[in-house]
């Protein structure tokens, strides 16, 4: 079996073991979170995107341990990632599968970055973004610019938080969103730094 | 044959949880526990550095003595779960992995629990009791 095949199987195996929640309830809960944020931050779209990222980060730093713990007791092997391609595969095929029941595809792989393509987004079922308000004279009005809203920005935070726990500092950006009319949801992940582990340089032998 | 103590050390060497797993485990004061936690953290790091096999840097997994065995499981996020037990006790690695799951379910999913901080959760204690019950401790 190829390596990526076994990772897919591992993801499916774990998905079978975790407790499930109703997907509609999940999507509706997330939707109400978004409307609450829009209300709290007074339709300040960049700030809402920012807050979603922060929420995701707090989720990510915690949920990665669950992934490792559950894979250990269920006898699912997650290989130690030696290169970025493997990390991307694990995030796409195990992480997304275990927590959301969908898997995504990896693309645009370079030394320092990769993209995740999500054809199914469990957060955005039922969602239609409002149209921008247009003023009476046809010019754009002062309403919020909904095209700037990254509805599923929480993913970016989750990935950033989770990878930080395994010593990878990354930046994530939601670059394609089907809600905004793009063909596919695309999350771009860029590695900024690999945090060194172990004794500091002062303690290294000459 | 019985489990004696459980302690958990966070990735910066701070002790975040300790408890006795059976009533005939020796009594150890909290200050001693903190010292044991950070000493073990350093020894673990030194063992990893001193290992002649460079491909794996796992640190200490098992210490066996005449009166005690100590078993350590380090997660990939750097938390160490350590159990001491009387010689001959079995399934310690399995117990450690179960406790890791209990930690993710009971501590990490608690929104009031802050990462790296001491675990004071009744749910977690109950979960550990439950694991102990399943693995046949008196």
Could you tell me which residues come within 8 angstroms of residue B101 by beta carbon, excluding any fewer than 6 positions away? A66, A69, A70, A72, A73
- CB of B100 within 8 Å of a chain A CB? The answer is yes
Cβ atoms of B26 and B127 within 8 Å: the answer is: no
Cβ atoms of A203 and A137 within 8 Å: the answer is: no
Pick the CATH number of B3-134 from 3.40.640.10, 3.30.450.70, 3.40.190.10, 1.20.1260.10: 3.30.450.70
pLDDT at A1: 46
Residues B94-116: tens digit of each pLDDT: 999 999 999 999 999 998 999 99
Tell if the CB–CB gap between B97 and A61 is shorter than 8 Å.
Answer: no
Q: What is the DSSP letter of A95?
A: I
Helical pair A45-73 and A3-17, crossing angle rounded to 10 deg: 90
Minimum CA–CA partner of B76 in chain A: A166
User: Residue A173: phi, psi to the nearest 5?
Assistant: -145, 140
When the pLDDT of each residue in chain B is averaged and rounded to a whole number, the result is 90
Task: Locate the domains of chain A by residue range.
Answer: 3-11+19-124+147-197
**CB-CB: which of A61, A69, A199 is closest to B101?**
A69
Q: Which of residues 42-81 of B touch A (CB under 8 A)?
A: 45, 48-49, 57, 75-79
Minimum CA–CA partner of B12 in chain A: A198
pLDDT at B50: 84
Q: Collect all residues of chain B within an 8 Å Cβ-Cβ radius of residue A65.
A: 75, 77, 79, 100, 103-104, 108
Task: Locate the domains of chain B by residue range.
Answer: 3-134
Q: What is the pTM of this model?
A: 0.88
Distance in Å from the first CA to the final CA of chain A: 45
Q: Concatenated DSSP letters for B56-89? A: ------EEE-SS-EEEEEE-TTS-EEEEEE-TT-
CA distance A67 to chain B (A): 9
pLDDT at B117: 93
Cβ atoms of B103 and B19 within 8 Å: the answer is: no
Pick the CATH number of A3-11+19-124+147-197 from 3.90.1310.10, 3.30.1360.230, 3.30.1380.20, 3.30.450.30: 3.30.1380.20
Q: What is the mean pLDDT of residues B3-31?
A: 92
**CB-CB: which of B49, B77, B98 is closest to A65?**
B77
CA distance B1 to chain A (A): 24
Q: Which residue has the tokens 């199987």?
A: A9
Residues A33-80: tens digit of each pLDDT: 999 999 999 989 999 999 999 999 999 999 999 999 999 888 888 888
What is the ipTM for the molecules in this complex?
Answer: 0.87
pLDDT at A203: 55
């Amino acid at each position: 079996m190829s390596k990526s095949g076994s990772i897919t199987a591992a993801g499916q195996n774990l998905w079978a073991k975790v407790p499930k929640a109703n997907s509609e309830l999940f999507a509706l809960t997330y939707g109400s979170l978004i409307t609450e944020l829009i209300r709290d931050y007074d339709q300040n779209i960049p700030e809402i995107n920012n807050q979603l990222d922060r929420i995701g980060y707090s989720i990510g730093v915690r949920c990665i341990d669950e992934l490792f713990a559950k894979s250990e007791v269920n006898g699912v092997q997650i290989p130690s990632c030696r290169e970025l391609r493997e990390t991307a595969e694990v995030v796409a095929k195990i992480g997304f599968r275990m927590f959301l029941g969908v898997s995504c595809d990896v693309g645009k792989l370079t030394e320092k970055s990769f993209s995740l393509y999500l054809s199914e987004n469990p957060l955005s079922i039922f969602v239609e973004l409002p149209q921008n308000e247009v003023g009476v004279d046809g010019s754009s009005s002062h309403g919020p610019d909904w095209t700037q809203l990254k509805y599923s920005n929480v993913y970016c935070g989750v990935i950033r938080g989770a990878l930080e726990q395994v010593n990878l500092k990354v930046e994530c950006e939601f670059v394609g969103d089907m809600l905004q009319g793009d063909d596919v949801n695309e999350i771009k992940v860029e590695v900024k730094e690999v945090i060194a582990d172990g004794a500091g340089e002062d303690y290294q032998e000459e | 044959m019985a489990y004696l103590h459980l302690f958990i050390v966070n990735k910066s060497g701070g002790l975040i949880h300790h408890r006795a797993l059976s009533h005939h485990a020796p009594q150890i004061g909290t200050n001693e526990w903190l010292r044991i936690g950070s000493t073990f953290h350093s020894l673990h790091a030194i063992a990893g550095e001193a290992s002649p096999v460079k491909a794996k840097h796992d640190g200490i997994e098992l210490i066996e003595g005449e009166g005690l065995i100590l078993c350590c499981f380090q997660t990939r996020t750097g938390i160490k779960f350590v159990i001491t037990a009387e010689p001959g006790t079995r399934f310690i690695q399995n117990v450690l992995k179960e406790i890791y799951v209990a930690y993710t379910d009971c501590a990490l999913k608690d929104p009031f629990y802050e990462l790296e901080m001491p675990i004071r959760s009744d749910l977690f204690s109950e979960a550990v009791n439950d694991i102990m019950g399943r693995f046949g401790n008196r």
